[in-house]
Homo-oligomer: A and B are copies of this chain.
Amino acid sequence: MSGRTFFTVGPSQLYPTVKEHLREAIEADIPSISHRGAQFMEMYESVASGLKTLMGIPDDFHIFFLSSGTEGMERVIENCVGAKSAHVVYGSFSKRWMAASKSLGKATEEYTVPMGEIPSLSDTAFSEDAELICITQNETSTGGAIAPADFALLRKKYPNALVGVDAVSSAPAVPLPWANVDCVFFSVQKCLGLPAGLALLVVSPRAFAKSEEVAKQMSVGSYHTFAELKKYADKKQTPETPNVLAVYLLEKVLKDMNVEGIEAVVGATERKAKKLYDFLASQKKFTPFVKKPEGQSETTIAVTVEGGSKPVIDALKADGLIVGSGYGEFKEKHIRIANFPAHTEEDFDRLISALKALSV
């Protein structure tokens, strides 16, 4: 099956060094080592410091492991919301986060725009008692994104609220303004180019303090409360037996990306995205689902296909180019293309050539 390139929006193409790291992990008995031993603790420490270096995360923020981005939605609500959360909704994943909050018994407020449109954060009008504003930085379902620079508006407008960010399909390729965010979660099978089954949760001191307040009033969970996560993180461990193999691979990939440098990672992401959007503007069969240029995702690009997406997906597949179908109701209308650090400029040249051939 070699020769295939996965442009699916996650799980996706592995970062180029991962297969070799995985083979080395097998030889080094990584799947058998103890999650309470020194070797694991060094890995945890290295991941936390590697991630802080790569993403510019302040030293006093906490780095916790979760098992999925979906778990991130739950844990951030449980730990940071006593009564009410507010949600900026512009696709299926932002909607899902709001649904999680409702399921957890919280009141919610929402500012919703139709799928394909991009909300302006200055148009939100949440109540003063909203404890957490939930922002999906990159909306994988529509190929939309909210510029992280705009998060400053939320701090100004809602000084008493925490800002929670779903960066599942953009971190670390899209930089975040850490002064303006409190809880950020993302999973490793997107921009980090790893096998699925591990996610990261970054928590500000302010959000941690809030979780302590909420915990005085109600249950905030059991083994994955912020307090339990911190208790174990202080020992460079996790409350449960985690996906040790994924933690090992993450450590290696963070080292590789830090050698490459975050500017190179971000720059390549921007260049490849521009190349694809320039192509989309040059013909008529394929058009970006999101029209507003500043709201077009750089990392997960949704493309409306004239005549339906299935024949295009099949034709690309025959060329070894695996792209995703549309999300939900757009399954047969869109293709979705990931632009992750694992994807080289050559991969994008090849994909664009193939799309060009299909566009005439």
Contact = CB atoms under 8 A, between A and B. Distances in A.
Contacts of A68: 67, 240-242
Given A103-B222, A195-B31, A222-B104, A71 B240 contact: yes
A64 to B, nearest CB: 14
A223 B2 CA distance: 35
Size bracket of the A interface? 35 or more
A318 interface: no
A33 B11 contact: yes
Interface in A55-70: 67-70
Residue of A12, A225, A243, A244 with most partner-chain B CB within 10 A = A243
B12 A69 contact: no
Interface in A237-252: 239-246
Interface in A3-21: 4, 6, 8, 10-14, 18-19
A73 interface: yes
B26 A8 contact: no
A160 interface: no
A interface, by DSSP: helix, strand, loop or mixed? loop
21 contacts: A1-B29, A6-B29, A11-B244, A12-B32, A14-B32, A23-B23, A23-B26, A32-B322, A67-B197, A68-B241, A71-B223, A71-B240, A73-B223, A100-B222, A103-B222, A187-B241, A195-B245, A196-B242, A196-B245, A197-B241, A197-B243
Contacts of A33: 11
A218 B189 CA distance: 33
A74 interface: yes
B22 A1 contact: no
B219 A103 contact: yes
B27 A11 contact: no
A281 interface: no
A98 to B, nearest CB: 11
Closest A-B pairs by Cβ, 7 of them: A197-B243, A31-B195, A70-B240, A67-B67, A68-B240, A100-B222, A105-B219
A221 interface: yes
B197 A34 contact: no
A19 B224 CA distance: 31
B70 A223 contact: yes
A99 B228 CA distance: 12
A26 to B, nearest CB: 5
Interface string A103-130: 1110000000000000000000000000
A87 interface: no
A242 B67 CA distance: 8
